[in-house]
Amino acid sequence: MFGRRLLALVSVGIVSAAMMLVAPAARADSPCDLSFLSTSAPAPGSIQVLGITFKVVNDEDSGVFGYWALDAINRAVRVWQQPDASFFVISIYSGKFTTFAGAVSPNDLGMNERADASGTFQGGYVATFSAPEFSTAFGSAGAFDFGGTQGDVLRGVYANQVGPTSAFSYLDTYFSGWNTNSFIESPWGWVYHYHGQTWCDTSSGITGNILT
């Protein structure tokens, strides 16, 4: 998921809603650990400028080799301006994936999904970036259809796929002129679950797989 998420691109109530999206973390030394989403924080003296939630449907999910599923996601994004004028973001995802018979599995090019099936996932990232200006927003930003399709997923690998066609970007919307070269995403991670299987796609490592 990392590659596409990187490129596609408060009030107490908003903070609480964001934290509720995170599932219990694995051990801190595990590639599946997501505790950074609740322990990371901006520099002292930072001022929060964005705290939004929004829903996404038809987002094509990135595997190691290609888009392998369609996602329905609840997202929460919080951004602070730090004392050095840079921005610090915590972006949290929680949702459901649906994959299809014939899709390439997320972590093994030689294994295709055998049946249409759905599972759950959670994760997100911490990042910093710079922008010459910004607009503030707090609360719900609405719902967005990213335009992904089953047909595109079944094309197998990135070289043959288009990906989501109408992704909403909080960076483009609220941080006009943001510097793409300044965006540093670390740590990041997403953990997927299906019938006792777990696939962890994180900056600490990639382990497991989802096979229907």
Task: Tell me the DSSP string of 134-189.
Answer: ---EEEEEEEEE----HHHHTT-SGGG----SS---HHHHHSTT--GGG-EEEEEE
| Structural contact between residues 70 and 120, judged by C-beta atoms closer than 8 angstroms | no
Query: Which residues form the domain of 15?
Result: 2-208
Condensed to tens digits (0 to 9), the pLDDT of residues 194-211 reads: 999 999 999 999 999 999
Q: What is the percent of the chain where pLDDT is above 90?
A: 82
Number of structural domains (the chain) is 1
State the average pLDDT over residues 138-162. Answer: 96
Give the span between the Cα atoms of 195 and 202, in whole angstroms: 21
Is 108's pLDDT higher than 80? Answer: yes
**CB-based contacts of 151: which residues, under 8 Å, 6+ apart?**
none
Condensed to tens digits (0 to 9), the pLDDT of residues 165-196 reads: 888 999 999 999 999 999 999 999 999 999 99
Which pair of tokens denotes residue 202? 């994180």
pLDDT band at 30 (very low <50, low <70, confident <90, very high): low
Give the span between the Cα atoms of 200 and 192, in whole angstroms: 6
pTM of the predicted model as reported, rounded to 2 decimal places: 0.85
Condensed to tens digits (0 to 9), the pLDDT of residues 63-74 reads: 999 999 999 999
pLDDT at 6: 45
Q: Which residues, listed in sequence order, are joined to residue 59 by a DSSP beta bridge?
A: 71
